[in-house]
Amino acid sequence: MGETEFYKANSVKEACDLLAQFGERATLLAGGTDLMVLVNRRQLIPEVLVYIGECGLNYIREEETGLVIGAATPHVEIVRSELVQKKAPLLAKVISTIGSPAIQNQGTIGGNLGNASPAADSAVALLALGASLKLVAAGWERTVPAADFFVGPGKTVLKPGEIIQEIIIPEEAAEYKWAFRKIGKRRADVCPTVSAAVAVKTENGRCKAARIALGSVAPTPLLSKKAPEMLVGKTVDAALIADVAKAVAEETDPIDDVRATAWYRRRASEALVKELLSQVIG
Amino acid sequence: MYTLELKVNGQPYKVEVKATANLLEVLRDKLGITSPKVGCETGDCGTCSVILNGKLVKSCLVNALTAQGAEVLTLEGLGRPGALHPLQQAFHEHYAAQCGFCTPGMIMAAKALLDENPQPTKEDVKHYLSGNLCRCTGYVKIVDAVMAAAEEMRR
Amino acid sequence: MALNVVGQRVKRYDGLAHVAGETKFVDDVIVPGMLWTKVFRSPVSKGTIKNIDTSAAEKVAGVAAVITGKDVPNNRYGWGGDQYVLNDTAVRYKGEPIAAVAAVDEDTAAEAVSLIKVDIEEETPVFDPLEAMKPDAPLVRPEGNVFMYGDRPFRAIVLGDVEAGFKEADLIVEGDYLHPWLEHAQLEPQTSLAVPDASGRLTVYTVSQALYLHLQSLCSVLQMPMNKVHYIGGTVGGGFGSKNDMHADHIAAVLALKTGRPVKWRWTREEEMLYSTAKGSWHMHFKDGVKKDGRIIARHVRSIHDSGAYVSLNAYVVDKHSFLVAGPYFIPNVYVQGYAVFTNKPPASSMRGFGITPATFAGEVQMDRIAEAVGIDPWEIRFINAFREGEHTATRRVLDSVALIEVMQTLAKTAGVQLPDRLMAMSSTQRR
């Protein structure tokens, strides 16, 4: 077995060039909070590690497209950013529940997304916020909606050679009322059993736009298709909330695992959606 | 093997490490600094907590080569018997250490908290130590010790 | 006489070392030239070992030794003498150690373990103790699935005549209680360091909670006299009963003697959660005969303990449970049947009270049920039945210095519960 090689990228261009050079042999490393678990347990022995934690992807700024967050920005900086608090408070809230203070210092938003865990907290927030991801490679770049980014557990639309450069949250996200909750066995360092975020925009008592996202209830972080269909244009009352919660629970495709049964997850999804929708509309 | 240069507790070191090595194993196996413990190697227990460039980290999840040129503080560098840091003194006086295995990580997490927030509430302390497990379940005394140390340090 | 300790707050003797980071746990002892261990564990829950091939593992650069059962001087150990240091016949649980590697580092040892080939003829396991007790159940052990207490398949506690008591009773209250399998989750994993020296002595740094008993056990495995083994322990990073069984010292010691080099073995958290001893699960059935005035006059308890695959401390766990499951109450007729049942799981063993916490949990919920059934307050039902000075337990132990009533009175006051005067006036020294 050959020894793992290590390369530190000093710029986004260098990162892309290294990925182009090593192709599928390369494994990206940023904060390491997911990757090192696998490496420590010898579940993954990378051939080539490409470190992108210090390649200029640590930033939070306002652009024409909206709020832009560099992929290697650590969780703690997003949570403490006044800009994020103002433009996307849901994201700040959700990310504040990731891990524990140490993990907040270490983990990055791009890592949380690229790891593509169905439980990824930041994914749930970004789906509810209608965010998109800018992907970059040596020779091209493209932007994909967060809703299209996840393909399966650990799988994304990232092509060989591509990295997540930044996350873009549209300006209008600030107009949504929102709520988030996750259920887990511990308050810190927990992989959620079920999590849910709702973001709703109302006008004159009617729902104008709505997004409901859930974690740990499907092969990917789940954005409900039925919720906006059922809510938009309607005056939302308790009966409609109950119907939406039921419909969202039916959209889930959970599994039995060490954290909970599929049965529990479906029931918890319904209860969470009901609770959160009532909070933002009630 | 790669050359890693870093400072631990003010002392510069230069060691050869594998690209897959984590900071915890480098501290323990290469440098003989054993206060950070191996409790899980999955980032769940917090016994390996150290302060890296001023920030609290779980050293088992830090790829060692990403700490190139870094400054690391472990419990050994905080204070020695005879010249204990107020946190160490308070942990001793408030019986906050039982089996002692979580103690180094707990104290380093508490140190990072007080660096950021010298006037924490009990809730702040509980939140900041939430990534550190104590199976002897001595949490009440640990929180008491951190509060007492914070008060002592404000004097 | 001045009291220096009683009534004083005394600092922990090891407290300063703990807070200064100077305490040396076993893993903190680092010896030059030290080898690291990884173990090949059974991939199946039950099966017969046909062949073990370690040849590829031995060829890995950096591997100093690969051992199997034939390398162990005395391959049987454990509280029941029934466990294998390295099983070379028939495995009884998934994760049972079969071969061990000592190598220059953990990565190399893990790579070598991945190259070990073991041919096992898999057999049908049984995991549920209730299933394991059925006559046609697959056999976990050739002699049967239930631990024999002499000629009985259960620990019996017999006082008076329960059947007569049930006849005399005004009502019968029954209850079923379950207690789950639990891992100790102590923060320090099972760890051992064995250091041989030229004089033929072996120094072993251990996490043992039972130092002298494990010293005997280790010397038996190694077939060495006790004056050749220097066993160093006492600094334990949490035990909670998980370190009353020898998990690592025997294998590290055999590897150290085989290689002539220091050998460390530190379990991963995953190994700890999956394969170390645990608190076994319990099914407890209570049948109580009760008079209208709240007196319990007969109690039959049938407790079934999932002991996993080996005896370990389970016979004693069931003993202690059976002795105490009738509770701190005077019941003239008691019949307890405590079963230790084997299943194809890692051995259960001691954890925090050797079976008495499940007994107390079930017994006290049962007291609440009795209170509800006879229509008496849950506090009062306990005062009515509480032991008095000079009464005896289900095992006929005569009690002195009894203070249960006084403890409950103090507890009520502390909790701000207003008890009726007649309860507050009661005393453990009053006769019934």
B49 neighbourhood in chain A, CB within 8 Å: 102
Do A70 and A164 share a structural domain? yes
Quick one: pLDDT at residue A208?
95
Which chains lie within 8 Å of chain C at 3 or more CB pairs, if any?
A: A, B
A44 neighbourhood in chain C, CB within 8 Å: none
Report chain C residues touching chain A, CB-CB < 8 A.
107, 110-111, 268, 270
Question: Inter-chain contact B112–A187, Cβ cutoff 8 Å?
Answer: no
- Taking the Cβ of residue B82 and every Cβ of chain C, the question of whether any pair is shorter than 8 Å is answered with no
Residue type, A85: Q
B76 neighbourhood in chain C, CB within 8 Å: 20-21
Q: Which two tokens stand for residue A95?
A: 């990310």
Do A222 and A161 share a structural domain? no
Of the residues A47, A106, A185, A186, the best mutation for testing chain B's interface (the one with the most B CB atoms within 10 Å of its CB) is: A106
Domain B86-154 has CATH 1.10.150.120: yes
Question: Inter-chain contact C107–A41, Cβ cutoff 8 Å?
Answer: no
Of the residues C16, C29, C187, the best mutation for testing chain B's interface (the one with the most B CB atoms within 10 Å of its CB) is: C187
Do A194 and A180 share a structural domain? yes
Domain B2-77 has CATH 3.40.50.2300: no
Do C208 and C74 share a structural domain? yes
Quick one: pLDDT at residue C1?
66
Quick one: pLDDT at residue B74?
98
Q: pLDDT at residue A2 above 90?
A: no
Do A144 and A97 share a structural domain? yes
Min distance A241 CA to chain B CA atoms (Å): 33
For residue C286, being part of any structural domain is answered with yes
Residue A23 maps to which CATH number?
Answer: 3.30.43.10
E strand or H helix that includes residue C312: none
Nearest to C64 by CA among C88, C38, C90: C38
CB pairs under 8 A between B and C: 101
Do A107 and A86 share a structural domain? yes
Do C405 and C260 share a structural domain? no
Angle of helix C249-259 versus helix C211-222 axis, rounded to 10 = 40
Nearest to B37 by CA among A126, C21, C344, C108: C21
Domain end among C237, C255, C275 = C275
- Which of C12, C20, C240 has the CB atom closest to B80's CB atom? C20
Question: Inter-chain contact A99–B1, Cβ cutoff 8 Å?
Answer: no
For residue C237, being part of any structural domain is answered with yes
- Taking the Cβ of residue B104 and every Cβ of chain C, the question of whether any pair is shorter than 8 Å is answered with yes
Q: State pLDDT tens for residues A39-64.
A: 999 999 999 999 999 999 999 999 99
Question: Inter-chain contact A37–B42, Cβ cutoff 8 Å?
Answer: yes
The average pLDDT across A242-270 equals 96
B16 neighbourhood in chain C, CB within 8 Å: none
Which residues on neighbouring strands pair with residue C231, listed in sequence order? C204
CB B46 within 8 A of CB B132: yes
CA atoms within 13 A on the CB side of A60: 21
Domains B2-77 and B86-154 share a fold: no
Residue C60 maps to which CATH number?
Answer: 3.90.1170.50
Quickly count: other Cβ atoms within 10 Å of residue C431's Cβ: 7
Q: State pLDDT tens for residues B43-83.
A: 999 999 999 999 999 999 999 999 999 999 999 999 999 99
3-state DSSP of C72-118: CCCCEECCCCCEECCCCCEECCCCCEEEEEEECCHHHHHHHHHCCEE
Regarding an ipTM greater than 0.95, the answer is yes
For residue C200, give its domain range: 27-122+184-275
Question: Inter-chain contact C15–B92, Cβ cutoff 8 Å?
Answer: yes
Min distance A188 CA to chain C CA atoms (Å): 17
Question: Inter-chain contact B130–A189, Cβ cutoff 8 Å?
Answer: yes
Largest Cα–Cα separation, chain C:
80
CA distance C367 to C389: 21
Contacts of B151 (CB under 8 A, 6+ apart): none
Quick one: pLDDT at residue B2?
98
CA distance A207 to A152: 31
- Taking the Cβ of residue B9 and every Cβ of chain C, the question of whether any pair is shorter than 8 Å is answered with no
Do C96 and C57 share a structural domain? yes
Q: Where are the domains of chain B?
A: 2-77, 86-154
Q: State pLDDT tens for residues A201-254.
A: 999 889 999 999 999 999 999 999 999 999 999 999 999 999 999 999 999 999
Do A200 and A136 share a structural domain? no
Min distance A149 CA to chain C CA atoms (Å): 32
Helix/strand/coil for C27: helix
Quick one: pLDDT at residue A1?
54
Which chains lie within 8 Å of chain B at 3 or more CB pairs, if any?
A: A, C
Do C205 and C289 share a structural domain? no
Do A205 and A158 share a structural domain? no
- Which of A37, A54, A101 has the CB atom closest to B61's CB atom? A37
Do C286 and C354 share a structural domain? yes
- Rounded to the nearest integer, the mean pLDDT of chain A is 96
Do C271 and C297 share a structural domain? no
Question: Inter-chain contact A189–B41, Cβ cutoff 8 Å?
Answer: no
B54 neighbourhood in chain A, CB within 8 Å: none
Of the residues A8, A189, A258, the best mutation for testing chain B's interface (the one with the most B CB atoms within 10 Å of its CB) is: A189
With b for 16 or more beta-carbon neighbours within 10 A and e for fewer, the B41-52 pattern comes to: bbbbbbbbbbbb
| Residue whose token pair is 């229509």 | C375
Min distance A152 CA to chain C CA atoms (Å): 26
Quick one: pLDDT at residue A189?
87
Residue C167 maps to which CATH number?
Answer: 3.30.365.10
Domain count, chain C: 2
Question: Inter-chain contact B44–A33, Cβ cutoff 8 Å?
Answer: no
For residue A24, give its domain range: 5-51
3-state DSSP of C391-427: CECCCCCECCCCCHHHHHHHHHHHHCCCCCHHHHCCC
For residue C109, being part of any structural domain is answered with yes
Domain end among C275, C309, C324 = C275
Residue A81 maps to which CATH number?
Answer: 3.30.465.10
Q: Could you tell me which chain B residue has the CA closest to the CA of A76?
A: B55
Residue A277 maps to which CATH number?
Answer: 3.30.390.50
Could you give the C-alpha distances from B60 to A78, A120, B41, B42, B46, in angstroms and in order? Answer: 23, 21, 5, 7, 9
Domain end among A172, A189, A213 = A172
- Taking the Cβ of residue B127 and every Cβ of chain A, the question of whether any pair is shorter than 8 Å is answered with yes
Task: Kindly give the parts of chain C with pLDDT less than 50.
Answer: none
For residue C14, being part of any structural domain is answered with no
Q: Which two tokens stand for residue B130?
A: 């939430």
Contacts of C407 (CB under 8 A, 6+ apart): none
Q: In what order do the strands lie in the sheet with A60-63?
A: A60-63, A66-70, A163-169, A132-137, A140-145
Q: Could you tell me which chain A residue has the CA closest to the CA of C111?
A: A1
Cα end-to-end distance, chain B, whole Å: 48
Backbone angles phi and psi of C332, in degrees to 5: -70, -25
Question: Inter-chain contact A42–C107, Cβ cutoff 8 Å?
Answer: yes
Task: Kindly give the parts of chain B with pLDDT less than 50.
Answer: none
Contacts of C355 (CB under 8 A, 6+ apart): C282, C305, C317, C318, C319, C320, C321
Do C177 and C91 share a structural domain? no
CB pairs under 8 A between A and B: 97
- Which of A46, A54, A187 has the CB atom closest to B130's CB atom? A187
- Which of C111, C268, C270 has the CB atom closest to A1's CB atom? C111
Domain count, chain A: 3
Do C202 and C298 share a structural domain? no
